[in-house]
A and B are shown apart, each in its own frame.
Chain A
Amino acid sequence: MIDFFLHGFISTFRGSRPYWLWITFLLAVALVGLNGWAVQLAHGLGTTGMSDEVSWGMYIANFVFLVGMAAAAVMMVIPAYIFKDREMHKIVILSELFAIAAMVMCILFVVIDLGRPDRIWHMVPGIGFFHFPGSMLTWDVLVLNGYLLLNLYVCFYVLYTTFQGKHPREKLYLPVVFIAIAWAFSIHTTTAFLFQGLGGRPFWNSGLIAPRFLASAFAAGPAFMILVFLFLKRTGSLDFDNRVIDRIRVIVTISLLINIFFAGSELFAEFYSDSKHVIHFSHLFGLHGKSLLAPWIWSALALNVSAAILLLSPLRRSQGVLIACCLMIIVGIWIEKGLGFVIPAFIPSTLGDFVQYVPTLNELRICIGVWAFGLLLYSLMLKGALPIINQKPK
């Protein structure tokens, strides 16, 4: 066991110059973020752009996006384990590792959003009050931490047995994998319920939020993994059959189309009925007064639709186009689920006040810092795991 961790630890210290530059860069950015958080802890959330009108901002937006990224890791798991796709098997562990990193980022984004992180123990059942099952937030705490543990177990077990030169015993991890698959759906559904259960916020109060979350996650998550796999293949760190990429591309395309369909359905219901509640949508799209969000949501729409068209065209077989599409989808969905989902529900406020939200520099520093920390964690985990994945079975 100690050997295993030692091996991983040493692996992370063996790298090329670009690797070290990358790690140093991420570490530096993460520290800048930590510095931002220290400022926020010292002076309060008044250091952010949030207000009593727009009381959730970039932190919760990034949280929502990353829950989706973590859940999407399961899309790689399904073909690998259920359809016994051998080639997928090899790389699925990499997306499970990403689920771990994404989960850590999610938890960080929630913690930095708290006004009193020192009181987090108030949630611990027994010594505090855990408002379960009444508050959806407590459900979210359970499923997110559960998902983190499940993925930690699967990754650890598979990597450890492979490290020992044994084949992982299916009985000891397959049932957990299947639980994790169901669990992945639950983390994003619960996160959606957090919003869609609020009657006072008509923008969120739609039964389509959970399905939309899943569809957009299953487009953005695998799109990110395609980028990771192609990068690893190009640098010679990992070898796999290119058909794997084709398979993931199909997943991304279908999810993206479903997501666009869901969003369209929602927009139709709102705009055609033209009830008072449409005001959040019309403000978001810049059709009602000045909106800082409009340029963002229109770009997200353009990115997602163009990516879908490209992925349906014969151009999709070109790797360059595929990479561009993946980037477009990740950015497009990040905007759609963050700026385009969390913030417009607050504009106008529940009493009809139009207050805009502009994140402060310190707030953005913290966000970027969390991302850097998550990517750092993922890079180190990959560096530790790849030699084990690549080793010849004894």
Chain B
Amino acid sequence: MAKQEKNTLSRRDFVTGAAVTLASASAGAAALSPLMDAEEIPTAEEFLQKHYRELTPADKKEIFQRIEEEIEKQYGVKATVDDPPPLDGVEFAYVLNIGRCIGCRRCVYACMEENNLSRDPQIQYIRVLKLKKGSIDLDTAIHDYPANEAADPDYFYMPVQCQHCRNAPCVKVCPVKATWMEKDGIVVVDYNWCIGCRYCEAACPYHARRFNWTRPGLSREDLNPDMAYLSNRPRMLGVMEKCTFCLQRTRKGRYPACLEVCPTGARKFGNLRDPDSEVRRILENERVFVLKQSLGTLPKFYYVFAK
């Protein structure tokens, strides 16, 4: 049967077919040529690297050293990549006093500097919403007010960042478990494991996650050399990132950068499991609320109306 068919294949058809195949193969190679200018090509070690939670202490040492070397090569800066573990008996929570926030956005920029966020294009973890007094209707929020329109007495200001939900939709939807909640309640991303599907970004009700659409643009002067693997080390192209409650600081007993810079004291941070902590005192005595409570995400980021 097949033989018979073969005989009827004309010479012309065969030549045409062969020519098309040959031409398409070379055209295919030409089509792929833009790959020659690829901005980031993963090294073999990077490509084969395992998930953070499968790394042995020896693996980690090697990887952190590799990252430090890469940073030195790229930025000419000696950085340390650390991996502070979650502390026992600690669950972090944040309280933000809307009564005091003046919308100056100092937190936004302090976060950027602390966490080595891309400056070009600019990535910001904190979004400050400017809302008309009388309602908290997000759909009427002003997102891009100029700096001189902060502290307007007719408005109030509500900064929003990762809410570190106890029932986090982003963690639930990630197909490769590249994002998870640590023992101290901080939701982190393994930048080396994320596949960049952005399902978490679609699932997040708080617009807290940021994607590296381009190669992060960060200059040598802007680099903060005190880094942690799960937070502020430089990110790569095509992966997700987000607020980590500055775990490189907070796990070592310091406050997050956004809190430290706040000129009005609107931001409070501490250990929820410590009955004497400031956050516990506020939660027990003040009128607090969480954003979008009806979604059942159970944020550990509280808002409070207080003087």
Contact = CB atoms under 8 A, between A and B. Distances in A.
B160 interface: yes
B227 interface: no
Interface residues of B, number: 75
A201 B202 contact: yes
A185 to B, nearest CB: 22
Interface in B154-212: 160, 169, 172-178, 193-199, 201-207, 209-212
Given A3-B2, A10-B5, A201-B202, A42 B173 contact: no
B17 interface: yes
Contacts of B34: 35, 38-39, 41-42
A137 B9 contact: no
Interface stretch (B35-43, B68-76, B261-269, B270-278): B35-43
A301 interface: no
Contact of B6 (A6, A34, A41, A130): A6
B141 A14 contact: no
Contact of B129 (A110, A130, A351): A351
B211 A27 contact: no
A166 interface: no
A340 to B, nearest CB: 17
Contacts of B17: 12-13
Contact of B169 (A7, A35, A200): A200
B88 to A, nearest CB: 26
B211 A115 contact: yes
Contacts of A110: 197
Interface string A118-139: 1110110000111100111110
A24 B39 CA distance: 32
Interface stretch (A44-52, A176-184, A256-264, A266-274): A44-52
A200 B292 contact: yes
Contacts of A120: 195
Contact of A279 (B20, B139, B211, B297): B139
Contacts of A352: 129, 137-141, 143
A348 interface: yes
B199 A137 contact: yes
Interface in A123-177: 123, 128-131, 134-138, 141, 163, 165
A115 B178 CA distance: 13
A107 interface: no
Interface of A: 3-4, 6-7, 10-15, 20, 23-24, 27-28, 31-32, 34-35, 38-39, 41-46, 48, 50-53, 55-56, 110, 113-120, 122-123, 128-131, 134-138, 141, 163, 165, 194, 198-201, 276, 279, 345-346, 348-353, 387
Given A115-B198, A351-B127, A352-B137, 11 more contacts: A7-B1, A24-B20, A31-B27, A42-B37, A44-B39, A44-B213, A55-B211, A116-B239, A122-B195, A137-B175, A350-B138
24 contacts: A11-B5, A12-B17, A13-B17, A15-B13, A24-B20, A34-B32, A35-B33, A44-B212, A44-B215, A116-B194, A116-B238, A119-B176, A122-B178, A134-B173, A137-B173, A200-B205, A200-B206, A201-B202, A276-B139, A350-B138, A350-B205, A350-B207, A351-B127, A353-B207
